[in-house]
């Protein structure tokens, strides 16, 4: 079996010490050593330090959620006003070469596989555009054979015809491949590290390119080197110790922001969800209160960062977190292939089961009902 810390031949190695710093800080992070006075100090600071961030993610901070919410709300309003950005994902292929035991797309899971052709992708995009959305996130399973870089690039070119902003959540790539996709129209990438614990990562990722921990870790930096405007970070909360994974995610983003000050940094905050053929999957020890604490800590630690709240969560939770910390919400979501247009015949199964299936209008109106301003996009290309 491939060594999970050793690069494969086709993987680019970049000179960066960020992974070493994140892993060392995370190993040494003891969230049980923080006291109430540490959390109060963090909340009273004008600038949230790394140690303050550790305190905000600690067990002790769970008793000061209301105070954290007030601080996070203040920071959100200061930097984002009452704006909430709307988008939707578009899954164009669910073929995957990885064996990740928690994911519905994994190569050993018996699901219906499908891949959209270019005409079908365009019809899907036309259907999404008709809802009023102006931002799209293109996703594939992690298979270079079935979803090569050129195929993803053609999808990006189509997206530029219909949308003002295009994101990618696909397999990690080398710098020049990211540069090519940026020229095709991609604006940002999202990469879930899943867990920042290399030993747990090894247990969960048994086969495929995704098994290589450092290559995945450095994906965001390669994307920035390749000209991408923004990168999003996430750990899949519930795979391992969520407090350490949340800390590592935040520190990873923080260190890259310092190294690339121009980069638009954002977070996703996903928890485990049930998948086809395994409905028992649930995030261990990560309940809504814990998820709320993580999101509030992200907002206080990196007040300029965007935060996306996923349809993995209940509608009420999503709506309420928007006024406190999150800045972006998905709407009209499906995690299957060919779900936006009835003309697509070869539909594929879902990656995971969502909790909020509201359409775009329902989410738009829910945002307005909270006294917030739904925004489809604020980028103009000239």
Domain harbouring 24, CATH code: 3.20.20.70
pLDDT at res. 342 = 72
Tens digits of per-residue pLDDT, 294-341? 999 999 999 999 999 999 999 999 999 999 999 999 999 988 888 787
Give how many domains the chain has, as a whole number. Answer: 1
Specify if 360 maps to a domain. Answer: yes
Specify if 234 maps to a domain. Answer: yes
Beta strands in the chain (DSSP E): 83-93, 135-140, 165-169, 188-194, 230-235, 264-268, 306-309, 328-330, 373-375
pLDDT at res. 354 = 85
Specify if 382 maps to a domain. Answer: no
Specify if 182 maps to a domain. Answer: yes
| Below-70 pLDDT ranges, the chain | 280, 344-346, 378-382
Quick check: 136 and 125 in contact, CB under 8 A?
yes
Distance (Å, whole) CA 53 – CA 211: 29
Distance (Å, whole) CA 138 – CA 190: 10
pLDDT at res. 345 = 62
Specify if 330 maps to a domain. Answer: yes
Which residue, among 38, 93, 65, 91, has the nearest Cα to 293 in the 3D structure?
A: 65
Which residue, among 86, 84, 74, has the nearest Cα to 44 in the 3D structure?
A: 74
Specify if 5 maps to a domain. Answer: no
- Domain hosting 286: range is 18-375
Specify if 205 maps to a domain. Answer: yes
Q: What is the b/e burial string over 189-223, where b = at least 16 CB atoms within 10 angstroms of the residue's CB? A: bbbbbbbbbeebbbebbbebbbbbbbbbbbbbbbb
pLDDT at res. 106 = 86
pLDDT at res. 381 = 63
Instruction: Indicate yes or no: pTM above 0.85.
Output: yes
Tens digits of per-residue pLDDT, 244-256? 999 999 999 999 9
Specify if 10 maps to a domain. Answer: no
pLDDT at res. 280 = 67
């Amino acid at each position: 079996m491939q060594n999970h810390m050793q690069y494969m031949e086709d993987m680019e190695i970049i000179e960066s010490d960020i992974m070493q710093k994140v892993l060392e800080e995370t190993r040494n992070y003891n969230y049980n050593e923080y006291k109430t006075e540490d959390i109060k100090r963090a909340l009273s600071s004008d600038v949230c330090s790394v140690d303050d961030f550790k305190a905000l993610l600690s067990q002790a901070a769970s008793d000061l959620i209301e105070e954290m919410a007030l601080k996070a709300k203040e920071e959100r309003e200061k930097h984002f006003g009452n704006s909430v950005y709307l988008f939707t994902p578009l899954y164009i292929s669910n073929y995957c070469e990885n064996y990740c035991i928690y994911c519905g797309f994994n190569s050993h899971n018996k699901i219906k596989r499908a891949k959209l052709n270019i005409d079908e992708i365009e019809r899907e995009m036309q259907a999404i555009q008709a809802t009023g959305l102006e931002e799209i996130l293109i996703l594939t399973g992690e298979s270079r054979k079935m979803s090569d870089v050129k195929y993803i690039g053609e999808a990006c070119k189509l997206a530029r015809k219909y949308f003002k902003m295009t994101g990618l959540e696909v397999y990690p790539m080398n710098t020049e491949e990211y540069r090519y996709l940026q020229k095709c129209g991609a604006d940002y990438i999202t990469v879930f590290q899943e867990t920042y614990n290399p030993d747990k990562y090894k247990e969960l990722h048994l086969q495929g390119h995704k098994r290589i921990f450092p290559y995945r870790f450095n994906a965001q930096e390669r994307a920035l080197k390749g000209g991408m405007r923004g990168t999003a970070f996430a750990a899949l909360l519930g795979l391992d110790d969520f407090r350490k994974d949340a800390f590592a995610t935040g520190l990873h983003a923080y260190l890259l922001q310092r190294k690339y000050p121009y980069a638009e940094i954002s977070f996703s905050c996903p928890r485990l969800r049930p998948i086809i053929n395994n409905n028992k999957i649930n995030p261990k020890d990560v309940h809504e209160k814990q998820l709320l604490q993580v999101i509030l800590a992200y907002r206080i630690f990196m007040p300029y960062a965007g935060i996306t709240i996923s349809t993995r969560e209940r509608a009420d939770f999503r709506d309420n977190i928007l006024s406190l910390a999150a800045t972006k919400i998905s709407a009209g979501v499906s995690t299957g292939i060919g779900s936006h247009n009835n003309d697509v015949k070869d539909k594929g199964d879902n990656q995971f089961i969502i909790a909020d299936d509201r359409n775009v209008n329902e989410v738009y109106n829910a945002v307005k009902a909270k006294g917030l301003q739904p925004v489809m996009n604020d980028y103009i290309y000239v």
